Structure 1
Amino acid sequence: MRLLNRLNQFQRLWQPSRGEPQQVTIPELAGRCFCSERHIRTLLHQLAERGWLSWQAAPGRGRRGVLRFLTTPDAVRASMMESVLNKGQQQNALELAQLAPEQLRQALQPFLGGQWQNDIPTVRIPYYRPLEPLLPGFLPGRAEQHLSSQVFSGLTRFCQGSARPVGDLAHHWEITDDGRCYAFWLRPSLYWHQGEKVTAAHLVESLTQLCDDPQVGRLFASIAGLEAPAPGLVRIRLHRPDYWLPWRLACYYSQLHYPGEPHTGCGPFKIAQFSPELIRLALHERYHLTHPLIGAVEYWITPQLFDARLGTSCRHPVQIAIGEQAQLTSLRPIDNRLSLGFCYLAIKQQGRLSARQAKWLMHLIHQSGLLTTLPVEDGLIQPSRELLPGWPLPDSRHCEPTPLPATLTLLYHLPVELHAMASQLVSHLARYGCTLTLRFHDAKNWSGCPDMDTADILMGDRLIDEAAEYTLEQWLRSDVLWQAVFSPPRYRQLLHQLDEIQQQSSPAQRIAGLKALYETLMAESVLTPLFNYHYQIHAPPNVQGVHINARGWFDFTRLWLPPPV
């Protein structure tokens, strides 16, 4: 990139005096820029024409001329970035920013938020870490899960604020009277991001791959066969009724990709660039539902320093700023909500903690004020009083004190607030004669964790989507947590209970069955929620249509920017 080379040379000229006038010879300037004397004279002439500096040569060879600077490298870089961004040249902007990585946040600051760039309304979001690839199946982070829902579509989907699925790729669906066969009738004009028309055969192949996934496949264990008997029809046959099936198909992990191309979907936005520094989503012009009013969304990755003990993803950004995070106070608070998701504590059954000891431990956590004294940012969390709204915790106020084991092992994963919780538990249980050993799993979930069999207590984070009750059904089926908590016979019994619940055709009956099941788990001190998060979104005044969702993000298809004046 010639502009980057020119800026680099200007930086070398400017640096020795930090912009103050210099008396210097041509050979000295050529040495700074690693070029010939002839080239440095040409360079000085070009930079003077651009208005960056002035050069007044002195007569005679080896005489010192006067070099004056009319701008700074930072100002030049900002002007260049504005120019290339206006032309839609994001890669050139990245190259300019890479010139001074430690100043990336400052260089990006004027361009974050909502702007019209190259006649395209664009929203730029600074993000604190690189995002993981959007591969089919489960994704660990809230940001990845939300991003997947903007790129891919499923047969069904959830509308924000509703727990009932509606049609997406499928216009509607039909169920046989025995609940063992679903027919999904596709919309007539569906296109993949690369322009190819979507066929029922494509969707069957993509669904088959999801069913073969070890974790996602547990949710589709009732499926006996997938068929595409007609161009606009996908038929799913079941071993046993599963009235959760439209809910399962509406979640982000069931969204479909073009066979053999895991990053190609047919959602409202397509991936235009996906790198550790920049993720750019561009409008899918042939999207089958209402078209978004913005043309692009960009995540500019601006890493910050982290606690090395907790890995590179320890910060849990429940406060999202569409604009520079450092200027949070100057942005407009758009929306907030208490998360339905929660951080939780689970106790291994038939382990070192007896039923009475487990109940006493739960009492200590909730009744001792431990959750209200965690050293975390004010307003970030709220101690849990119920699993979901209307699903209260059991009353443990009259729990009898019980001596705890001399030693216990606690295993936990991200977010970072659980590190604070674990440290508090060490101090608190020591007062009761229990030495708590901590083990940290550097991830956002339990996948690949080798220490689960040796832990007595486990702490983690449970994200909740729009369909809160169904999300808890999916949690019991798919999370490896429960295979570590329960013995194999008890886990098989749990799956049998879920199979019975899914065969209830009434959503109210299924939810009542799930509530009773979770009330039993909490009463038996298997599980307790610890705290919920306060999700918050801040945005500049010109970014409109921001409405926080269950993941703490916002639907990009609802954003819009006023046209430039």
Structure 2
Amino acid sequence: MRLLNRLNQYQRLWQPSAGEPVQATVAELAARCFCSERHVRTLLNQLEDAGWLTWRAQSGRGKRGELTFLVTPDSVRSGMMEEVLHKGQHQNALELAQIAPEQLRHLLQPFLGGQWQNDTPTLRIPYYRPLEPLQPGFLPGRAEQHLAGQIFSGLTRFVTNSGLPQPDLAHHWQVSDDGLSWHFFIRSTLHWHNGEAVETAQLQQRLLMLLALPAMRRLFVSVKSVEQPHAQCLRFVLHRPDYWLPWRLASYCSRLAHPEDTQLGCGAFRIVSFKENLVRIESHESYHLNHSLLKAVEYWITPQLFEATLGTSCRHPVQIAIGQQDELVHLRPVRNSISLGFCYLAVKQNGNLTRDQARTLMQIVRHHEVIDTLPVEESLITPSTEMIPGWTMPQWENQDAVKLPRRLTLIYHLPVELHAMAQQLKQYLAALGCELMLIFHDAKNWAGCERLADADIVMGDRLIGEAPEYTLEQWLRSDLLWPHVLTASQYAHLQATLDAVQAHPADTDRYAGLQAVFSSLMQDAIVTPLFNYRYQISAPPGINGIELNAWGWFDFTQAWLPPPSIM
């Protein structure tokens, strides 16, 4: 990039005197710029024409000329960034920002938040890590799960403030009296992001590909076949009734990409750029539901400003700032909430802990201020008082007299708060004569974890989607945690119980049945929630329509910017 090269050369000339006028020979300036004397003369002429400096040469070889700087490199860089952004050259803007991390965020501030460029409303969000590719099926990151919901559509969908699935690619659906046959009637005006019309056979093909994934197969275990009885209809034939089916199809993991291109969907936004330092999505003109007032959303991914010892994704950004994070006076908290999702502790059955010992361990966590004294930001977490609203945790008689084993093994994964929790628990148990061995799995879920079976205690993070009860059923169906924590007979009984619960046509009956399952798991000291997160979004004035969703993000289709004349 020529602009970046020229700026780098200017910075080399500037640095020795920090912008003060200097006396120098052409040879000295050429040495600073690592180029020939002929080239540095051309460079000086170009920079003088650009208004960056003045050069007064003296006649005679080896004579010193006078170099006067007229602008700072930072002001030049900002002007260049503004110019390339107005031209839509977003990658060039980030290349121009290739400076030390401590300077980068300060430089990016004027370009973050809500911006109108070429009469185009754009929202830029600073983000702390690269986003992982949006592959079909389950995704580990909360940001990726939310983004998948903005780019891909499913047969059904969830909407804010409702736990019931709504029509999406399917205009409506019908179920047979026995609950074994479900017809989803596909809209006739659907288009992929590349402009091609969506064919029902493509949706069927992608669904069959999804069902071939092991975790998805466990989720849709009741599905016998997916058929296309006519051009605008898909039929699900089931082995057994499953009245969670519209919920399963509305989950982010069931959103449908093009069968030949996993980055191509038909949601409200389409992917324009998906790189390590920039993700840009733009509104889909042929979207079949409400269109966004934003033209584009960009994630500007900047280097971490702190040392991370647990991998690149150890930070848990539940508090999102849109725009100028360092200038908090310009930001205002627009929404906050307590997450329904939670970090949890689970105890392996038929392992080194008896039920009474497991209850003792959970009482230590709950009543000895282990969570309250964690060395994390006070505004970040809050101790759990129930699994989800209305699902209370059991109260046991005092278990202080129960002695714990001499040695136990704890395995845990991200987020980083669980690292602090593990260290805290290790100290508490050591004082009780129990040595706790810690194993860290550097990931956001248990996929690929070879040592899960070695653990007596497990800690992880459970995200809760738009339908809390269903999301917990999905957790029991699909997560690798449960076959490792439960005995074979317990796991088989759990799945049989879930089969019985899903056969209830009435939502309230399924909710009650699932609550009974989790009440039993908590009563038997198999699992307990530890703490919830405090979600918060802050934004500068002028960004409207920000509503926190279940992921701690906001629906990009609802956000909007007033025109510049009234901002």
Per the TM superposition, whether the score is higher than 0.5 is: yes
Equivalent residue, structure 2, for 1:502: 502
SS across alignment from 1:203: helix
Name the residue aligned to 2:62. Answer: 62
Cα gap change, 1:186/1:529 in structure 2, threshold over 3 Å: closer, same or farther? same
Name the residue aligned to 2:464: 464
Using the TM superposition, name which of 322-331 and 544-553 deviates more. Answer: 322-331
**Retained in 2: the 8 A contact 1:367–1:397?**
no
Pairing 1:129-144 to 2, within 5 Å after superposition = 129-144=129-144
Contact kept in structure 1, 2:325 and 2:331, CA below 8 Å: no
Secondary structure of 1:125's match?
strand
Check if 1:516 corresponds to 2:516: yes
Residues 372 and 83 (structure 1), Cα distance of their counterparts in 2 relative to 1, 3 Å cut: same
The amino acid that maps onto 1:31 is: A
Q: Deviations over 1:414-435 (max 9, x none)?
A: 1111111111111111222111
Label 1:203 to 1:116 Cα distance change in 2 as closer, same or farther (>3 A): same
- 2:104 is matched with 104
Tell me the distance in 2 between the aligned counterparts of 1:451 and 1:196.
46
Amino acid at match of 2:289: L
For 1:256-267, list aligned pairs within 5 A: 256-267=256-267
Between the aligned partners of 2:99 and 2:426, the Cα distance in structure 1 is 46
**Residue 184 (structure 2) pairs with residue 179 (structure 1):** no
Residues 158 and 164 of structure 1 are in contact (CA less than 8 Å); yes or no, is this contact kept in structure 2? yes
- Judging changes above 3 Å, is the alpha-carbon distance between structure 1 residues 66 and 280 closer, same or farther for their aligned structure 2 residues? same
**Cα distance in 1, alignment partners of residues 224 and 521 from structure 2:** 31
Q: Distance in 2 between matches of 1:286 and 1:235?
A: 26
Instruction: Give me the identity figure in percent.
Output: 61
SS at the partner of 2:48?
helix
Offset of 1:74 from its aligned partner?
Answer: 1.2
Structure 2 CA distance for aligned equivalents of residues 271 and 483 of structure 1: 37
Match of 1:446 in 2: 446
**Any idea what SS the aligned residue of 1:215 has?**
helix
Structure 1 moving runs of 4+ over 6 Å? none
Query: For 2:280, what is the secondary structure of its paired residue?
Result: strand
Distance in 1 separating the partners of 2:313 and 2:219: 28
Partner of residue 149, structure 1: 149
> What is the CA distance between 1:308 and its match in structure 2?
4.6
Letter in 1 for 2:23: Q
Which residue of 2 is the match for residue 354 of structure 1?
354
2:137 aligned counterpart, secondary structure: coil
Kindly indicate whether the alpha-carbon contact (under 8 Å) linking 1:85 and 1:118 is maintained by their aligned counterparts in 2.
Answer: no
Distance 2:71 2:356 in 1: 73
Q: Please state whether the residue corresponding to 1:326 is helix, strand or coil.
A: coil
Distance 1:456 1:100, change over 3 A: closer
Name the counterpart of 1:491. Answer: 491
Q: 1:126 to 1:19 in 2, by over 3 A?
A: same
Partner in structure 2 of residue 343 of structure 1 = 343
Aligned equivalents of 1:330 and 1:418: distance in 2? 32
For the Cα contact (< 8 Å) 2:324–2:540, is it kept in 1?
no
Which shows bigger deviation, 104-113 or 302-311? 302-311
Q: What residue number does 1:29 align with? A: 29
Find the counterpart in structure 1 of residue 431 from structure 2: 431
- Matching of residue 211 in structure 1 with residue 211 in structure 2: yes
Q: CA deviation at 1:102?
A: 5.8
Q: SS in structure 2 opposite 1:458?
A: strand
Q: Could you say which residue in structure 2 is the equivalent of 1:5?
A: 5
Cα distance 1:419–1:101, how it changes in 2: closer, same or farther (>3 A)? closer
Give CA deviations for 1:69-128 in whole Å, capped at 9, x if unaligned. 011111111110011011110121122123656633222121011101232111111111
Is the contact made by 2:412 and 2:440 (CA closer than 8 Å) also made in structure 1? yes
Structure 1 position 299 matched with structure 2 position 275: no
- Partner residue in 2 for 1:15: 15
Secondary structure in structure 1 of the residue aligned to 2:326:
helix
Q: Report SS of the residue matched to 2:82.
A: helix
8 Å contact 2:394–2:523 — kept in the other structure?
Answer: yes
Task: Between 388-397 and 519-528, report the one with greater CA deviation.
Answer: 388-397
Q: 1:291 is aligned with what amino acid?
A: H
Q: Which runs of 5+ in 1 are unaligned?
A: none
> CA–CA distance in 1 between the matches of 2:407 and 2:479?
27
Tell which deviates more after alignment, 491-500 or 42-51: 42-51
| 1:339 alignment partner, SS class | strand
Shift of 1:38: 3.4
Q: Which deviates further from its counterpart, 18-27 or 402-411?
A: 18-27
Q: CA deviation at 1:274?
A: 0.5
SS at match of 2:557: helix
Distance (Å, rounded) in 2 between the aligned partners of 1:559 and 1:350: 51
| Pair 1:375 & 2:375 matched | yes
Tell me the residue number matched to 1:552.
552
Contact 1:307-1:314 within 8 A present in 2 as well: no
Partner of 2:281: 281
Asked if structure 2 preserves the Cα contact closer than 8 Å seen for 1:328 and 1:538, the reply is no
1:234 counterpart residue number = 234
Structure 1, residues 149-195: CA drift from partner, whole Å, max 9, x if none? 11100000001110000000011111111111111111121000111
Tell me if the contact between 1:306 and 1:315 (Cα under 8 Å) persists in the aligned partners. Answer: no
- Cα pair 1:52 1:71 within 8 Å, conserved: yes
The one-letter code sitting in structure 2 at the alignment partner of 1:555 is D
Name the SS for the 1:257 alignment partner: coil
SS of equivalent to 1:405: coil
2:51 is equivalent to residue 83 of structure 1: no
1:529 corresponds to which letter in structure 2?
A: P
How far off its partner does 1:58 sit?
Answer: 2.0
**More displaced, 22-31 or 351-360?**
22-31
CA distance in 2, matches of 1:260, 1:350: 46
Question: Structure 1 residues 2 and 305 mapped into 2: Cα distance closer, same or farther (>3 Å)?
Answer: closer
Provide the C-alpha distance between the structure 1 equivalents of 2:488 and 2:460, rounded to a whole number of angstroms.
21
Two-structure CA RMSD over aligned residues (Å): 1.3
Distance 2:248 2:239 in 1: 16
Shift of 1:397: 4.8
In the alignment, structure 1 residue 327 sits paired with structure 2 residue 327: yes
Question: In 1, distance between residues paired with 2:397 and 2:82?
Answer: 61
Helix, strand or coil at the partner of 1:376: coil
The 10-residue stretch of structure 1 (216-225 or 497-506) with the greater mean CA deviation from structure 2 = 216-225
Comparing 76-85 with 57-66, greater Cα deviation is found at 57-66
CA distance in 2, matches of 1:197, 1:102: 47
After TM superposition, the structure 1 = structure 2 runs for residues 369-408 of structure 1, keeping only pairs within 5 Å, are 369-399=369-399, 401-408=401-408
Structure 2: distance between partners of 1:4 and 1:398: 67
Offset at 1:54?
1.0
Task: For structure 2, list consecutive stretches of 5 or more residues without a partner in the other structure.
Answer: none
Query: Which shifted more, 505-514 or 542-551?
Result: 542-551
**SS of 2:97's equivalent?**
helix
CA distance in 1, matches of 2:400, 2:16: 74
C-alpha separation in 1, matches of 2:535 and 2:153: 25
Q: Contact 1:321 / 1:328 at 8 angstroms: preserved in 2? A: no
Structure 1 position 537 matched with structure 2 position 563? no
**Shift of residue 300, structure 1, vs aligned partner:** 0.7
User: SS at the partner of 1:370?
Assistant: coil
1:44 Cα shift? Answer: 1.7
Deviation sequence 1:265-294 (CA, Å, 0-9, x none): 001111100111110001111111110000
Report the AA paired with residue 135 of structure 2: L
Give the 3-state SS of the residue equivalent to 1:174 in structure 2.
Answer: strand
Equivalent residues, number? 565
> Which residue in the other structure is 1:525 paired with?
525
Task: Tell me the distance in 1 between the aligned counterparts of 2:322 and 2:279.
Answer: 15
